[in-house]
Structure 1
Amino acid sequence: MKDLFSVDIQFLKGVGPKRAQLYQKLGVDSVGSLLQYYPRSYIDLHDTVPLSAAPFDSPCAVQGRVVRKLPVARLSGGRTLYKVLCTNYEQDFAVTFFNTPYPYGQLVEGEDYIFYGKFGGTFTGRQVGSPLFIPAGQPHDVLPVYPLTKGLTSKEISRSVAVAIDAFLAQLADPLPSWVRTQYDLCHIGFAVQNIHLPQSPQAAQLARRRLIFEELLVLQLGMALLKQRTRRRTDYRLIPPDLAPFTAALPYQLTGAQRRCIGEILTDLQRPQPMSRLLQGDVGSGKTVVAAAGVYAAAQNGAQSALMAPTEILAEQHYQTLNTLLQPLGITVALLTGSTKGAAKKALLADLAAGKIDLLVGTHALISQNVTFSKLALVVTDEQHRFGVKQRGALGEKGQYPHMLVMSATPIPRTLALIIYGDLDISVLDEKPAGRREIETFAVDFGKFRRAVAFAEKQIRAGGQVYVVCPLIEDSGSELKDAATAQQQIQQLLPHRRVGLLHGRMRPKEKEAVMAAFKQKQLDLLVSTTVIEVGVDVPDANLIIVQNAERFGLSALHQLRGRVGRSDRQSYCILISDAQGETAKKRLDAMCRTSDGFALANFDLELRGPGDFFGSAQHGLPKLKIADLLQDRMVLAQTGTVCRQLLDADPQLRQNPLLRAEVGRLFSQVGQQGLN
């Protein structure tokens, strides 16, 4: 059997160098990856409607005959209009294409076609722009619709897929064992590939889809399980639990029960001969940093080093300040390494690190640079793990000989989903906030009450508090969205006696540091900002946050923003301002007002948006799935979890299932060396 992932896509007829470049933009560079480039939807050609019944606001399929192709029209701005007049024998309609001569050239006068698109215009003059179309009466009843890149049509992809299937279908070996297919009533891989691309019927497409979803989720869970097997390796850093009395005595507060429980779980892991792989998950303000600090203290008491990696310089600097204040009196040396660390200071820091003079190095991605060498790295901590990939976590781990790994996340994730997303980790949950923290009162209002919100801010400032105002944009873009620069000017005019600062992501690091330091030191009363404060400094006196255009943020982001206040025993407030009328936006804002439970909000957000949007653009570290959906396919996820355990119990390294192991390797091709090796 030929490995189709080694067969270049240009092997296929009609795929020359230029078209191959377009395919590569879609992540398709081989015949194998083409066959795994699945349609996003289908058009049922039996489901055509009369033109008079075509809706104006959603796509549909209409059959019509090409009457006349009008001459090409040159428009302003260098655009070109291609227009075709058609009829469905009851009513005429126009088909238009802009700057795309290929589909215009494919249409033949006097021939019948099925056109699929959104039919606009008026009741007496309908038209459709850039529709998909196929000749009427073609053999397949279902037309696949692929995600596209500019210059490549769905029809061209279908043609390439058809050539590949014709040439290679017989060579496809099924990676699923026959007993799995029998037990779960799954079709063969050959049937699945053919009918996901060229379905004989809607039912056949559904059978193919179910089979491919099952395989992909099984491969995902097998990969996560194999990653977790690395904990069976022996670490060079089996640590002896220290007396924590000096550590806890140095704290300015009492640990919560949840913190004590999580510290106990970490110390137990550190004693084992296998390296720890643990997720520390806690809501905003639950005290994750001090739990990590206990692990760092344990490593230092054993003469070993630790590293903490954060996604931004702002967060790295905050961790450095917090941990240095906490650990330095205990004799633990803490240093900071970011992209801003330069010259002689950086050279001296790296020399001290290699010599073992630094116990804890805090930093950004700079920690995984090639010239960063540890003397004895025993504990690796990554913060806000959803912003790192598995590869980056592994790269930091490769700085030591299988060190212990602790991953922290303040993004609440439903436990069932966390078990999959962090399937290579054990999970500890901080489900208790420090004593004395009050509930943050949250309100949703429209922009008509903005001045009242500013007046409320003035009242809080007079009482000794400080205020954040968050906007979705940095400066005026001509849209209806509020921008931070304009908001600062407007609020300064309303409160001329108050000190109003501005913070955004385009500022230089030193500028941002200066603004945040001024706010923390109460040299500013009110800080207007973009979402850069989501992972900003901890300001105990900040007790009011006003979020403008709150509908532009997901629940997870809003919850993180709200967590910037309520960091002391002062009563805190969150005001969400929005004029949005959409049902989803209203549900989100209502949920924010009802509860401050991050896990409850996470479940709700997941239901509304799905896991892709929930985690943002490829930030959660999971391999990218081609067809499965972790939310919609939860039932299949449960089935594949059972099969995963059965397979690995009988064949821990999948040596007897080489095709499955090859698929796992492909899906997890971007993890670090400590991954599947």
Structure 2
Amino acid sequence: MSRPSTLDPLFRSLQSIKGVGPQLAALLTRYFGAPEGQEAIALDILMHMPSGVVDRSRQVGIAEAYLGQVVTLLLHIDRHQPPPRGKPQVPHRVFAHDETGEMQLVFFRAQGGWVEKALPVGEQRYVSGKIDFFNGEKQITHPDYVVEVDKFATLPLVEPVYPLTQGLSSKALTKLTRQIIETLPELPEWIPPATLSHFNWPTFGNAMRSVHTPTNPAEAELWAPARMRLAYDEYLAGQLTLQIVRSTMVAARGIARTFTGEITSRVLSTLPFALTAGQEQAIAEIRDDLASSDRMSRLLQGDVGAGKTVVALMAMAAMAESGAQSAMMAPTELLASQHFKTLKPLCDAAGLGCVLLTGKMPAAERRPILAGLASGEITIAVGTHALFQSGVEFKDLGLTVVDEQHRFGVHQRLALSDKGRHTDLLVMTATPIPRTLVLTHFGDMEVSVLREKPKGRQPIDTAVLSIGDYPRVIQRLKTRIEEGAQAFWVCPLVEESEHLDVVSAEDRFAELRKVFGDQVALIHGRMSAAAKQETMQRFSTNEVKLLVATTVIEVGVDVPNASIMIIEHAERFGLAQLHQLRGRVGRGAQRSACLLLYKDPLSETAKARLETIKGTEDGFEIAERDLELRGQGDVLGTRQSGMPGYRLAVPDVHRHLLDYAHDDAKAAFAANPSLTGPDGEALQTLLYLFRKDLAIPLLRAG
């Protein structure tokens, strides 16, 4: 079905609305981040939620209007006192009264006589604004509204306040919103009757009207029925999309695999350590998936250093027993080569052919690899997305393992090329994701979690210090490096910024060179891949003792001898980031330390972040806390990577609704997988409203 025509008023371009010129339309298109090449539409305005309300409903006499209150008064205008000639900085004052007292209205730089026109002497006007005092007299400076008595109805007594951007006035946005609210079509109800009556929610249209044109302040609260309903709608659209995606992924029938146990037991015997209980359980879950005839779609979550790579290796070994190949895809060449370094010796010992394939490889090296993949002689290929380019043919690819999932959203899962689309899929992430977010972003996948760290991992001592202690830190660092330790020193920026009072990596590098000379090296994101690789190499071979870095070292850098992590301006980093950075040490046999240096003054949130990191090493606990402190879009570091950032739902307040939406979406989809009939069409309308219609073409296939 194409988009229902009832929705047309919401999908028209803003330029077609009276009073919106090309300039305002372009500004709004930028502000709402419309998809490439598209303009902002009426729906964008509707989905732009107020951040609060101004309550002007307090209508009192002057005598009862108190300092700092927003009031609406009916005033009698007595006289004007314009500024003396040539003194434009003196305000224009208007004297007024009612039965209870007197007051002044104050206007700065009021040229052109408009104040006299708006407030004619001898007449009455409704005036709304905030009361302040000047020389003991009550006054309102620049009232928000001045209206004639018979036009009182046009004065909004409860006025929503919207987040704005440079060049967009609150008046213009409010006016536009009201125009669009008036054209809101009647829509079919998509919420199941049981949920609707349980919560006693209004219809979608009435909910939108309550939020954008409230009659009392309570109607617009985040926990009011109207906003609750809209948050649930947004969750429901997301959950339904994931159900559809999941059915598409799983409907591609998998192959029921059988295992001999021969290769997996060889791999186990070559491992230098025993598996943790968590690893064993994850391996068992994956084997069950592979043995079933449905296609596997599983997320493997494990904290930094929880041993995900070994679990993936066991899955790939099981796949090899059933006669099929596996591909392991990492986001960067650095990470791909690191996985390869870990896997290669284990594969060699177990007699598994394992190769590394990246985009930068010379043709002569590629040729034998491509031949081996095509003949099936090579069982495991590790690489970047180059694995899925044309020209790479597998004899029988059975399993795709994708590392560092959160850069790899639902769209990417759907877009895995034909080579990878019908294979079983295992996705690994080192970002512990709180349950709410797992439902939101990976509701289409099963989840395995590795909680404990492998044996022999040392706890990391974490301390929090002010940058004022710099001399002491340097002394201590000197001693430790002389004893043979290696250290990371992380800064938030590459180079000095005019706007932020923050020490950059380049400045810090220059400072540290004065003390440590050639033992220090610098690495940051603007360097070429080769230069980064070379610097990392010098650090891993212990040629360089101290590595000054920006956050490029966050994911997957493995230098077991590095046992000290110093994070400067720790207050500028998110919790997940601090946790990931700290996880770069504590990988070898010696005790490791992490030092968080902050600069005063600290905000409450920053203080809470540093306390959390100091108090626990459990990534899942940290992720839950991070969600409380920051809101969901940042936890995955994906405000911009096609993740559903919410516009109507505020996770802190509405999180409990996600479970309802998840269950309702599951039930609705199970009952009506092709979304036909009136109920199905109502749900399709919902998907269009929340721009999830990418999922609709997948339905027909079902």
Q: Aligned match of 2:168 in 152, 155, 176? A: 152
Query: Pairwise mapping of residues 333-344 of structure 1 onto structure 2 (< 5 A)?
Result: 333-338=354-359, 340-341=360-361
Q: Distance in 2 between matches of 1:673 and 1:279?
A: 25
Q: Is the 8 A contact 1:233 1:274 kept in 2?
A: yes
Q: Distance in 1 between matches of 2:134 and 2:324?
A: 72
**Residue 657 of structure 1 aligns with which residue?**
680
Q: Aligned match of 2:692 in 655, 665, 668? A: 668
Q: Is the 8 A contact 1:220 1:667 kept in 2?
A: no
Deviations 1:389-448 (A, max 9, x none): 211122226433422111111112233442333211111111121111111011111112
RMSD between aligned residues:
4.0
Q: Distance in 1 between matches of 2:546 and 2:81?
A: 65
Of 552-561 and 299-308, deviating more is 299-308
Q: Is the 8 A contact 2:327 2:399 kept in 1?
A: yes
**Residue 39 of structure 1 aligns with which residue?**
50
Structure 1 residues 52 and 374: CA distance shift in structure 2, 3 A: farther
Pairing 1:596–2:617 present: yes
**Residue 557 of structure 2 aligns with which residue?**
537
**Residue 76 of structure 1 aligns with which residue?**
none
Q: Aligned match of 2:181 in 137, 154, 165? A: 165
Pairing 1:240–2:258 present: yes
Q: Is the 8 A contact 1:337 1:361 kept in 2?
A: no
Q: Distance in 2 between matches of 1:221 and 1:15?
A: 35
**Residue 2 of structure 1 aligns with which residue?**
6
Q: Deviation at 1:503?
A: 0.7
Q: Deviation at 1:170?
A: 4.5
Which secondary structure does the structure 1 equivalent of 2:6 belong to? coil
**Residue 77 of structure 1 aligns with which residue?**
none
Q: Is the 8 A contact 1:386 1:621 kept in 2?
A: no
**Residue 644 of structure 2 aligns with which residue?**
623
Q: Is the 8 A contact 1:227 1:676 kept in 2?
A: no
Which secondary structure does the structure 2 equivalent of 1:229 belong to? helix
Q: Is the 8 A contact 2:200 2:225 kept in 1?
A: no
Q: In percent, how many aligned pairs have the same letter? A: 36
Query: Pairwise mapping of residues 215-230 of structure 1 onto structure 2 (< 5 A)?
Result: 215-230=233-248
Of 30-39 and 554-563, deviating more is 30-39
Deviations 1:545-569 (A, max 9, x none): 1111111111111111110000012
**Residue 99 of structure 2 aligns with which residue?**
none
Structure 1 residues 179 and 305: CA distance shift in structure 2, 3 A: same
Pairing 1:198–2:221 present: no
Q: Distance in 2 between matches of 1:187 and 1:313?
A: 52
Deviations 1:283-308 (A, max 9, x none): 11111111112222233343433333
Structure 1 residues 648 and 132: CA distance shift in structure 2, 3 A: farther
Q: Distance in 2 between matches of 1:158 and 1:115?
A: 17
Q: Deviation at 1:572?
A: 0.5
Query: Pairwise mapping of residues 374-385 of structure 1 onto structure 2 (< 5 A)?
Result: 374-385=394-405
**Residue 523 of structure 2 aligns with which residue?**
503
Q: Deviation at 1:357?
A: 6.0
Q: Distance in 2 between matches of 1:353 and 1:268?
A: 26
Q: Distance in 2 between matches of 1:412 and 1:122?
A: 59
Q: Is the 8 A contact 1:328 1:334 kept in 2?
A: no
Q: Is the 8 A contact 1:192 1:212 kept in 2?
A: yes
Q: Distance in 2 between matches of 1:116 and 1:529?
A: 50
Q: Which ranges in structure 1 are unaligned for 5 or more consecutive residues?
A: 74-80
Of 621-630 and 345-354, deviating more is 345-354
Q: Is the 8 A contact 2:495 2:504 kept in 1?
A: yes
Q: Distance in 2 between matches of 1:383 and 1:46?
A: 56
Structure 1 residues 253 and 147: CA distance shift in structure 2, 3 A: same
Which secondary structure does the structure 2 equivalent of 1:631 belong to? helix
Of 33-42 and 192-201, deviating more is 33-42
**Residue 78 of structure 1 aligns with which residue?**
none
Q: Distance in 2 between matches of 1:625 and 1:70?
A: 50
Q: Deviation at 1:123?
A: 11
Q: Is the 8 A contact 2:406 2:638 kept in 1?
A: no
Query: Pairwise mapping of residues 474-553 of structure 1 onto structure 2 (< 5 A)?
Result: 474-478=494-498, 479-496=500-517, 499-553=519-573
- For 2:524, the aligned partner's letter is H
Of 38-47 and 425-434, deviating more is 38-47
Q: Deviation at 1:343?
A: 6.5
Which secondary structure does the structure 1 equivalent of 2:581 belong to? helix
Which secondary structure does the structure 2 equivalent of 1:406 belong to? strand
Q: Distance in 2 between matches of 1:667 and 1:352?
A: 44
- For 2:475, the aligned partner's letter is A
Q: Is the 8 A contact 1:34 1:161 kept in 2?
A: yes
Deviations 1:174-224 (A, max 9, x none): 333445423320112221222222222223333321221122222222222
Structure 1 residues 544 and 652: CA distance shift in structure 2, 3 A: same
Q: Distance in 1 between matches of 2:162 and 2:337?
A: 45
Deviations 1:296-322 (A, max 9, x none): 223334343333333333323322332
Structure 1 residues 96 and 634: CA distance shift in structure 2, 3 A: farther
Q: Deviation at 1:347?
A: 7.8
Q: Distance in 1 between matches of 2:133 and 2:592?
A: 50
**Residue 448 of structure 1 aligns with which residue?**
468
Q: Is the 8 A contact 1:236 1:401 kept in 2?
A: no
Deviations 1:488-539 (A, max 9, x none): 222222234x611111111110000000000001110111111111114200
**Residue 459 of structure 2 aligns with which residue?**
439
Larger radius of gyration, structure 1 or 2? 2
Structure 1 residues 201 and 540: CA distance shift in structure 2, 3 A: same
Q: Deviation at 1:670?
A: 5.4
**Residue 410 of structure 1 aligns with which residue?**
430
Q: Distance in 2 between matches of 1:372 and 1:301?
A: 22
Q: Deviation at 1:333?
A: 2.9
Q: Is the 8 A contact 1:307 1:362 kept in 2?
A: yes
- For 1:324, the aligned partner's letter is K
Q: Is the 8 A contact 1:234 1:273 kept in 2?
A: no
Q: Distance in 1 between matches of 2:135 and 2:322?
A: 78
Q: Deviation at 1:482?
A: 1.7
- For 1:633, the aligned partner's letter is H
Q: Distance in 2 between matches of 1:456 and 1:473?
A: 24
Structure 1 residues 93 and 263: CA distance shift in structure 2, 3 A: farther
Q: Distance in 2 between matches of 1:543 and 1:124?
A: 67
Q: Distance in 1 between matches of 2:392 and 2:181?
A: 49
